Structure 1
């Protein structure tokens, strides 16, 4: 049997972005995942769907898995020859209760590896713009837990320039009382950062005298508390324009969304909802026949990233490469389509400036009379306008099925819950088909159109907007440039003008 191994990994302060490269690599190969109450579900998506996932998270006030049980799980799966990832928030060796797990693994002869994570004790002040050290105001700092306030040496702690306190939401009043009793001024600066790094991050600043009034009635879990003069040095950079917005992105089931990366870079929290299933056509015959006579075509037109990938993958399956396109010019619709084409080492000869198929004919770079055009496309449900326009201008268009798209059978659980709990601020659609499929999927929920109340419906272009109007009765914004970048800009502009 292959030797098992356990990886004790820190997940960082919460956001997927702050996970280490080593942690991402190990999550991708995990056969068993034993994880705590992580703050961003996307981290769990890095693990294969075939892996066993065991939630042992400790949540305040709720029943939790006994530490001994966790130790046994790690040992048992390791001895079975499994690659086991033990995932904990922050850094595993800072208030992570990892030592008992290390001890149990060592005693059982199990191999293990420690992988550091960014602790919230350091990340929270940084993300709040607070320097933990300063040559004049903060020459040292101490990090401690607010759980057991009775055993702490408050006389010693009160003398330290800066204090960073974890798990102290419920004991804040006691901490303030003890510090003041041991000589700390009531005017001492304090900051509280809740849900650091997440879109729900909140920050309170004040003094030991007034912070309790500011946070009265507010749950401060999970939070980091910083006490010291360095809090007065706080400088925040401008907020990202989409900070605080939760955006639902409809996408193909098999594809990780480039759009998600664009939105998250602007501060948004993104929920991805698979609304398309891309699969091979019912028959390859028509595409294979066209590939066999590629040299007879003047132009190859590709209007989607899926069309590009399926066409070139089929070309390779038939034992051909890009040399088979010698003498054939290529027109593509959209920046993303062009970008995928470049992955195959080809630069398109023409991209219509409006990035939509409807403008391709109007801007075509040469007379179409007598031209023979190959158009690999979706098998069913595609629009006929492009073929009609090309044919009316004298071209002979050979349409072939390169792929098929359909609607998933079930609505994504995470997306469904976010909609039903009214956590979504904006829903984005990059094609008419995703609009139609989204509409079909939400019929599985009671009162489906109520899910869209107070939600902004964002469209990438005119045809997508038309479908939104037909099915939802409205569309709230449309990109001026019909690209994902254009849609991102349109969302930002709308929020700036509210």
Structure 2
């Protein structure tokens, strides 16, 4: 017997491209009806120090990547400037997806935290007992600085390279407003604080807020959960492991539990 925990349920996905298609496919397989509108878009950053970071790249002991996009734009910059990363430079990643993205570039990842968040990375990396070294963190303009602050407090030298910018696609604003107005959404999956902030920019409009508040919000992890709660809205489910697969699994478990109570 095929289990369809999301049968008849509408699910909002704030991403597009390959990631959005894969998640949409999973939701359809589980019986749900996905609605995809990208709430974030990425473009090359204009950090004035970027060229200097590239020129001194092999002076860093570690390069720490906090996202797949950081990996993507980092290697774009290396290719564009015909620069290679020394095999002596150690690589760290916040999460398995980021690790996978690095391994596709044939780089060995020396450190990944147990839980995939900047907070957990800072705790575990600090506890490694390493002497203070020099580290580069390629990141997005909206990424937090918790890793940098933690390492600086331990005496490390840290450079944060804003290698990409996160923006709200203009055409998505109108699409989201129309979706909230005309479709009864059961669930919304939030994958980052940025997706939350951009959603709220539209959902807080007086004519849409009542309908938006009828949606159950599912968060990928504690930082995104905190962003949702910062608006005074409730998070219905959030997984222990901070991945899209775990988030979707938490939604399915929620549906199964609700069916058992009916």
Same fold by TM-score greater than 0.5: yes
State the match for 2:133 in structure 1.
Answer: 371
Shift >6 Å, 4+ stretches: none
Aligned CA distance change for structure 1 residues 267 and 394 (closer, same or farther; 3 Å): farther
Q: How does 1:213-292 map to 2 (within 5 A)?
A: 237-251=1-15, 256-257=19-20, 258-283=22-47, 285-292=48-55
Larger radius of gyration: 1
1:350 to 102, 105, 111: 111
Question: Does residue 191 of structure 2 align to residue 434 of structure 1?
Answer: no
Report SS of the residue matched to 2:161: strand
Report SS of the residue matched to 2:40: strand
Aligned CA distance change for structure 1 residues 269 and 342 (closer, same or farther; 3 Å): farther
CA deviations on 1:181-209 (whole Å, 9 max, x unpaired) are: xxxxxxxxxxxxxxxxxxxxxxxxxxxxx
Q: How does 1:34-113 map to 2 (within 5 A)?
A: none
State the match for 1:316 in structure 2.
Answer: 79
Q: Distance in 2 between matches of 1:389 and 1:368?
A: 13
Report SS of the residue matched to 2:159: strand
State the match for 1:105 in structure 2.
Answer: none
Paired positions, count = 256
1:490 to 245, 250, 257: 250
Contact 2:113 2:121 in 1 (8 A): yes
State the match for 1:296 in structure 2.
Answer: 59
Q: Distance in 2 between matches of 1:346 and 1:376?
A: 16
> Runs of 5+ in structure 1 lacking a partner?
1-236
CA deviations on 1:359-410 (whole Å, 9 max, x unpaired) are: 112212732432111001113x321222111111222111111001122234
Report SS of the residue matched to 2:12: strand
Q: Distance in 2 between matches of 1:383 and 1:358?
A: 10
Aligned CA distance change for structure 1 residues 453 and 362 (closer, same or farther; 3 Å): closer
Contact 1:262 1:485 in 2 (8 A): no
Q: Distance in 1 between matches of 2:226 and 2:131?
A: 32
CA deviations on 1:107-153 (whole Å, 9 max, x unpaired) are: xxxxxxxxxxxxxxxxxxxxxxxxxxxxxxxxxxxxxxxxxxxxxxx
TM (norm. structure 1) is 0.48
Contact 1:275 1:438 in 2 (8 A): yes
> Runs of 5+ in structure 2 lacking a partner?
none
Aligned CA distance change for structure 1 residues 317 and 493 (closer, same or farther; 3 Å): same
Q: Distance in 2 between matches of 1:436 and 1:428?
A: 13
Q: How does 1:334-345 map to 2 (within 5 A)?
A: 334-345=95-106
Aligned CA distance change for structure 1 residues 242 and 338 (closer, same or farther; 3 Å): farther
Q: How does 1:12-23 map to 2 (within 5 A)?
A: none
Give the CA deviation at 1:439.
Answer: 0.8
Question: Does residue 69 of structure 2 align to residue 306 of structure 1?
Answer: yes
Give the CA deviation at 1:308.
Answer: 0.6
Q: Which has the higher helix share?
A: 2
Contact 1:271 1:415 in 2 (8 A): no
Q: Distance in 2 between matches of 1:265 and 1:320?
A: 44
CA deviations on 1:247-272 (whole Å, 9 max, x unpaired) are: 10112x66642433443343322111
State the match for 2:227 in structure 1.
Answer: 467
Q: Distance in 1 between matches of 2:53 and 2:27?
A: 39
CA deviations on 1:311-350 (whole Å, 9 max, x unpaired) are: 01111111134xx231111111122212222222223211
Q: Distance in 2 between matches of 1:409 and 1:460?
A: 24
Q: Distance in 1 between matches of 2:13 and 2:68?
A: 17
Question: Does residue 91 of structure 2 align to residue 330 of structure 1?
Answer: yes
Q: Distance in 1 between matches of 2:23 and 2:130?
A: 34
